[in-house]
Each structure stands twice: as structure tokens, then as C-alpha cells.
Amino acid sequence: MRVPDGVLTAHTGPVDITNEGGSGLVDGVRGLRYFFPILIEIELEPTEGKAVIKHYTTSGQSLDGVDGFRDREETLELNQHYSFFPSPNSQTYKYEYYTKGTSGSLPAAPNPGELLYGDPMGFTYDGSFPIYYLNLYYKGTPPTTTDPPPGVACTSPSPSRTMTGEDFNPNVSAVIKADSRGSERFNVFDGIPTTESLYGNVWTKNYLHKYGYQQMTGKCTFTVDVTVMPPPPPPDEEPGQPSTVQVQVDKDYSFWTISQVEVYRLKEAALQNYAFEANGIKIPPHGYNAPYYATAETSRYEPSPIPSISVSHDGDPEAAARSAVSVRVRNDTFTFNNQTLMSGAETTGSGPAPSAIPTAPMTGDNILYSSGHIIPMTKTNRANQPSTGTIYYSEVSGAGEKNYPIYGINSVTVHTPVVIYPAVSDDQAHNQKTKPAAGRSAMILDRPFTIELPNAGQHANYTGYGHRNYLKYIGSKQVRFPFDVYNDSKSEFYPKNTWIRVEKSQEVFTFYLPVWVDEGFYEVEFRTIAHNTPSGASYQNKANLDLTHHIAYDTVAVDVIGRIYDFRITDIADYNWETVFRMAKGSSIPTGTSYWVGLSGIDGATRGIMPQYTLPIRPGSHPLYKNAAIKTGYHFKFDLKTRGNMFSQQDEIKITPSFYFISAADGSRTPVDLYYHKSGKSYVKVGSPSDEVTRYVILNERLRNVTLEELTDTALYKYDHEYNFGQIATIGRAQFVNHYVNIAAKRKTMVGSLSLLRLPEGVRTLIGPKTNIPAGVDLSRVNAAVQKWYGEYSLPADLYAVKAGTNVAEYGRTHRGLTDKSPIFLKQGYIVVNFNLETVQAGKINEPHLQYIHGPLMNQWHQMEGFARSVQDAFGVTYQLKDGDVVLYHADLSSRDDFRPMVTH
């Protein structure tokens, strides 16, 4: 309903509702809606009221304008204290009682039960009523005008001296400071944050005043007849007759009148500063006793009657006449704060001199004090904002007002502090780098990591700042990674260079690093944004010490690092082991059996395998033959995985074998050098210049069982990334894949020698994740992020082990030559093949990137995957193992010992 001009309008006639339909009307029935008026009463609470004070005789006659009485009205302001007192007794009227009320005007002649005695009680106006009525009652008889007594002539009173005074200097001062007074938490000169509170405190004179007194003077002349008694007669004579002497006596008189009185009470103080809501506050007085005064026109003079006077014959008629007459006078009456400044009491000759209005005392600390003024969040940082103020007074009996500026108020600096001292977890426990980067936090691919955005830290050394928690002033906290990340549960994906807003009250957050992020050095950015930050705000490192900045910003240096892991043996060419790895003799179908480094996976989680299926291959590893190891001459197949930037054509796996002999009798371990025979040469030392055996691997070989999916994915990546348009313009993707799978992957790939294996990209497949990849992420890059490397190794069939460092040639010279049965060769036990595995990026063979075993910070082989450093065979012999041990070959059994005529070696 519209309310034009504040007038409610309503329908005056019925409205046809037939067409509205509904279940209430049947066909052919017309519907009408009638409107009936309803009375609405709205009561508005007043913001100010008034007091109506009237004066009456006890018989109900108005005294307004009589004998100095004045009825009046005064404004009542919210939360102000008021006291109204009776006017001073006049010459003829004396105060008796009062009545009061707030619900309507009072009758002039009240009922006896309504009478209240004593002075009216003061009250604080709370706005619950609009008008306060007060009737004051006096008892007495109005004076009658009389003429001067006979024989008296008086001049009219005329002005004489004056007495004036005023004090309109409030001597006002003010401060604006941080709460709480006396224990301020901030120094506003240095700074105070938004959402903290200020107080205003003003000191000024309790009242201001001006007054004027006028002395009135005159003279009364008394014509006095004085009877002079005769002197005593001589003896025997008659007494003489009295005589009459007329004497004129002049009597001066004076009294004081009130010519002017102005008294101003405190109304309010106003303080202005940028930091306040709406840039200012108003402070009404609290607990303030306003000044009160009353005046009455009681001034008059009255000559005394002339009495009968007689003096002795030797008396002084003039002196007798002068002492017999007088002029009685009264001043006006003026009381101020219950102190009589001008007395209207009757005196003879001259009224007493009045007193000045006392100089007002200064207000106390709590009169004009207002606290809890919160600085709004909308206030941006500003330095040294000026303060102004005004003090307001209102006239006690009248409508006049006075106001004065307040000078010298302190300025206020608004400075909302934020800090950021971030950290990123340093995942040393999974850092396989050969040379960990100093001063950078290690972040490992495909692993969670944490960041810390503490809310506490060092800010400026101001009161209330310093080293403390600044959560209260934070609008938001954000982090930006220069690479893709997930949240801790991987339910949210954040593309690189996205500012991520985190819960500001929380300080530690977990994220997850996707496997496809490039390895390398990065800077992670952090910022804490103050809650009063404007758009386009600038930042300062670590803390916004300069208040022109609203954002604290910092970076943390990180190093994204890959992995090398999951080494396993997947096949052994020794015929004794064929059915361990194959479903049947001669079959290429694998059983799925593998021998892993230990019982745990890449990050230490249990694989769920038996200890029997852990490395090294040793007596007891075979599920059927307790004493079976591997005969020399037979190779074993293995594979391993890497994560990270190991997908370029120059990347490779570097494997450095070393060899040991373990005694079958007691399990003792000795480093050894290995020798073998080759056509035309005997006792060639492994690793010597004469050791020229070259090893090859065929990736897509029948018994390696590399899946078609792996080969296809690898081929597609090579097609898209390793060739330019000119190289493959005539070859389609499907044709390229077919060629790779059936031709390129079936070629021999050289992988090194007996003393050093270098697995190149030709024996590598790409096996990155295929599902749940966020939109916008390069799928081929994800596929390339995880790599699988295939290799194989064997020791020559004709193998001879000697204690490391033995000079075999010298032994042969001094022992009449060498034979395969020379005691220098170690036979009763096993030859251990130990691998040191490292990753090489960009062909830098002498600068390995990651270490499987010998990293300075962690050992993936033992610490994560759980390699057992001591094992016991089925016969109770304990073998002390070393990290990297992969297989044990029989020192005294060779593939040549098998009765089969053809053996792969």
C-alpha cells in the first residue's frame, strides 16, 4: 500500500473478485471483497522533551509575574540529569510544597493526597515521556502599597554603582586515544588498527556565565518634632513647660538589583577525526550536575514611622531625632547552586553588597568521556589524521547557545598491521637428490606437503604492535604456487599461478603436488591481506611496516624433486627359476611373481608380500628349492620406476655394479674382484680395459612382457614431442605407433657393460596416470611424468672371484701359473651383485641427479622400501647384506654345468 504524503489510503468500496476463481465460488456466483477501517496507533519515542515549571499560591492563584516569580519551560535532552528547585522566598511568599507529573498538565489546586514536600527530586531524562510538569506552591499575602509615613519625603531610587562579570572562556581541551583509558593498548600517534576502539575525553568549564548588578540609591528626609523637657525648677518653684523643636533628618539608602544573569550549562562535545565512524562522535555529559540559579525581584526601600521623641533640657534634639528614624531596604534575591549571591533580607540603610558568580570548576574525567568507538574496517591506513572539536553550551533559563572550537587535539594514525612469515615443509625424508639445494624446501612429486602461514610475527615496535598474533586484522590469507597443486584430499585442483585463499584462522595447510609438475627451483608466494585493504593495494615484504601498504608479502624458495623407486626382479633365465616367473615351462605368460627391494613401497606402505619375495635373490628365495641361487651365465631381468623430468632423449639410469663373496659356511662377506674367460683371453678382470663385453636389451622382447599400452603411450609421446614436422610429415600417428611397437622396440638397445649399466631412453616407457586428470592439464605431459626402465644383467659363465685387490698375475707368476682350481679363487659360497642406482638428466653422466641408495638425506632402498640388511637361509646361516644387493650367484655353479646344451648368457 502506498502512503502518499504520510496519509494512509484504503479502498472505500467493494472489489469484485469473481474472476479470481478459487474453490469458494461456484459458477454463476459473484464475489465481492469489502474493506473495513482499522485504527493504527504509532507512538514515536521522543529524542528530547521539555519541562513546564509553574508557580502558585497554596490557594491555586498563579504567581507568574508576581514578586519575581516566572513560569518557564526548559528543554530536556536524552540521558541528561536535571534538578529543578523552588524560587527563593520573596518578601511575602514562602515555599510550601510541590506536585509533579508526566501524563498531562497538573491542576492549579491539587488534592491533598497529591502534595509532595521538600525540594523536588532530580532525574535523568530517558525519553519515556515528552513533558515533565512541576507546580511549586507558596504561602503568603501579596503586599499592599502604602504611602510614606507623615513627615517623611523620599527621593526615588536612582542608579549608582554597578558590578558586572563574565566568564565565556571554556578553557576546553580534548584527547582522542585508544581504549582503555589509563591502559591504552595503542599509541594513536604511532598507529591503531581498524576494529580497535577509541575514546574521546573532553575537559571544559562546568558552566559559563555573565551577570550584572545595579546599586540603587536615594534619600529620605524626616521632619521630626522633638519635645525638650524643661530643666528642674529651683526649690519652691513651679516646673516649666516643655518646648518643641522641629528637626530635619536626612537618611541615605541604597540597595542592589539584578540587571542581567546568563548561565550556560554543558550541552555536548563533538570530536571529529577520520578514524571515527562517520568521521566524528558526539559526547553528551554523563553524571553532570548542571548549574541552577533563581532570582526574585525583592528589592525595595521603606522609611520608618516618626515616633514621639523627647529629650532633657540639656539633651541634643538632632541626635535624638536622627537615632529615632531609619530607612529599611531589601536587595533583589539571587541564589546560585544553593549559594546566596544577593540577599533579599531586610537591612537598615544599605543592602549588603552581592557576590560574583563563582568561576566554574573544570569538569571531571568522566563527565565528557565516551569510549568504545570502533574504527570501521572501511577506513584505509592513513597517517597523522588531524582532529577537530567543538564544545556546546545551552542557556539554563532560555534558548541561547554558545559553542567554541577545541584546539590542540592530538592526531590519529590508522594503521592495520599484517605479517607473513611463511614456511614450506622440507621433505628431507623423501629427498633423493645427490646434492640437496641449500636454502630451499624439498617438495617431492606425487606427495603431500604443508605450508605454514602463521598469524603471529614481528611488526613495528609500537605499543600494541611488535611480535604478536595479528589474526584479528586479517581479511584473507593467500598462497600462489607457480605449479599445479591439489588440496590435501585431492578434491580441489588449483592450476599454477592461482591465488588460493585459505582459512585465515588456520595456520598449517596441506596440499598435494601432482606428479606432472616439472622438477626445478621455484618461488612460492604468500600474502596476508588486511581487512581494510582497498582495491589495488600494494604490499611490503613480511610486514606492512609502511602504512601505505595493506598487504604483507613473502616468498619461500622450494625445489621440486622426482623419485627413483620400485626396483624389482621380474625374471631369471636359470631354468630352475622358470616356473617361478612363468605359468609353465616354455610359456611366456607371467605368473606375476616379482622380487622387490623390501616389504614396503615407495613411501613405506606395506606391499603385502612375503619376506621370501624380497631381494636379494638368495638361497631360500625360490618357493621350491631351499638352496637355489642363480648359476653364473644366466641373466636376470629387472625394472624400476622414476618420477619427474626423466622423459627426455638424454635422460638415463646409471647402474654401477660391485661384487662380494659370501661364505656358505658362516655367511662372512668379502669384497671381490671378478675375472672371466673370453675367446682368446683368460682371466679378464671385470672393469678393466680388457673387459669389452657389451650388454644389450630388447624392450619389446617376448619374455619381458611390456604391455602394449605402455608401448603405445610411449610411441605417441615420441611422435608428438621428439620429432619435427619435416621428420614425420609423411607418417601418421597410427603408422608411427605400429612401427615403434613392432620394429623399433624389438631392436637391441646397448645398455653398457659388466662394470657399468646405462639404461637409455630406448628401454624406457612412459606410464603416467590416465584417470582423474583435471581439465586443462596436458595429458601427454601427465603420461610422461612417470617412467619405467627395463634392464637385465648377468655374470659370465666362466667366472672367478678373488679377494678385492688381489694381484692375480703376480699370484700366477709365483705359483707356477693359474688353473680354474687354484685356491686363490673363492668357491664355497655366493657372489653378490650389488647395484648402485642413480638417475642422470640431460646426459650429465658425472652429475647424477637422484640416488636410490646413497643420497645424503635419505636411503630409498632401505628407509622407505624396507630392505632387510640381515637374512637367514633355510639352514640357519645368517647373511649380512648391504643396501643394493640384488642377487646371489653360486660361486661354484655355472650354466655350463646344466645338462642342457644351449643356455642364454
Return d(Cα 16, Cα 340) in angstroms, integer: 79
- Average pLDDT of span 235-246: 89
Joined together, the cell numbers standing for residue 497 give 599461478
Could you give the residue ranges of the DSSP H alpha helices within 771-815?
Answer: 779-784, 808-814
Q: What is the pLDDT of residues 326-380, one digit of tens each?
A: 999 999 999 999 999 999 999 999 999 999 999 999 999 999 999 999 999 999 9
Q: What is the mean pLDDT of residues 260-266?
A: 96
- Tell me the one-letter amino acid at 201: N
CA distance linking residue 535 with residue 538, whole number of Å: 9
Averaged pLDDT, 531-550: 98
Q: Which of the two residues, 6 and 162, has the higher pLDDT score?
A: 162
Is the CB of residue 263 less than 8 Å from the CB of residue 254?
Answer: no
Report the DSSP beta bridge partners of residue 818: none
Q: What does the chain come to in residues?
A: 905
Measured CA to CA in angstroms, residue 739 lies from 401, 721, 761 at distances of 103, 17, 17
Please, are residues 65 and 255 in contact by the beta-carbon 8 Å criterion? no
* Measured distance CA(549)–CA(612) in Å, rounded: 65
Q: How do beta strands 131-140 and 48-57 pair?
A: parallel
Q: What is the pLDDT of residue 901?
A: 52
Question: In percent, how much of the chain has pLDDT > 90?
Answer: 76
pLDDT over 80 at 32, yes or no? no
> Helix 733-742 crosses helix 708-721 at what angle (to 10 degrees)?
130
H or E segment to which residue 451 belongs: strand 448-452
Sketch the domain layout of the chain as residue ranges. 48-140, 152-232+240-413, 423-561, 564-897
Name the 3-class secondary structure at 736.
Answer: helix
* Chain centroid offset of residue 688 CA: 69
Flag whether pLDDT at 235 surpasses 90.
Answer: no
Give me the percent of the chain exceeding a pLDDT of 70: 94
CATH of domain 423-561: 2.60.40
554: β partners: 526
Contact assessment for residue 655 and residue 759, using Cβ atoms and an 8 Å cutoff? yes
pLDDT tens across 861-904, in order? 999 999 999 999 888 889 999 999 999 999 999 999 885 554 44
Q: Is the pLDDT of residue 674 over 80?
A: yes
State mean pLDDT over 430-451. 98
User: Looking at the predicted structure, is the pLDDT value of residue 177 above 60?
Assistant: yes
What integer best gives the mean pLDDT of the chain?
A: 92
Query: What is the bridge-based pairing of β-strands 48-57 and 32-33?
Result: unpaired
CATH classification for the domain delimited by 48-140, as one of 2.30.30, 3.30.1640, 3.10.20, 1.20.1530: 3.10.20
Which pLDDT band, with edges at 50, 70 and 90, does 398 fall under? Answer: confident
Q: How far apart are CA 676 and CA 796, in angstroms?
A: 7
CB atoms within 10 A of CB 453: 24
pLDDT for 145 equals 45
- The whole-number pLDDT of residue 166 equals 97
In degrees, rounded to 5, the angle at the alpha carbon of residue 80 between the alpha carbons of residues 291 and 98 is 70
- Report the pLDDT value the prediction gives residue 19, as an integer from 0 to 100: 63
What confidence score (pLDDT) does residue 835 get? 99
Question: Are the C-beta atoms of 521 and 440 separated by less than 8 Å?
Answer: yes
pLDDT band at 43 (very low <50, low <70, confident <90, very high): low
State mean pLDDT over 550-558: 99
The pLDDT score that the predictor gives to residue 904 is 46
Position 3 scores a pLDDT of: 44
pLDDT for residue 678 is more than 60: yes
Q: Give the per-residue pLDDT at 138.
A: 85
Residue 611's SS3 state is: helix
Question: How much is the pLDDT for 193?
Answer: 99
Q: Do domains 48-140 and 423-561 have the same CATH topology?
A: no
Q: How many CB atoms lie within 10 A of CB 112?
A: 6
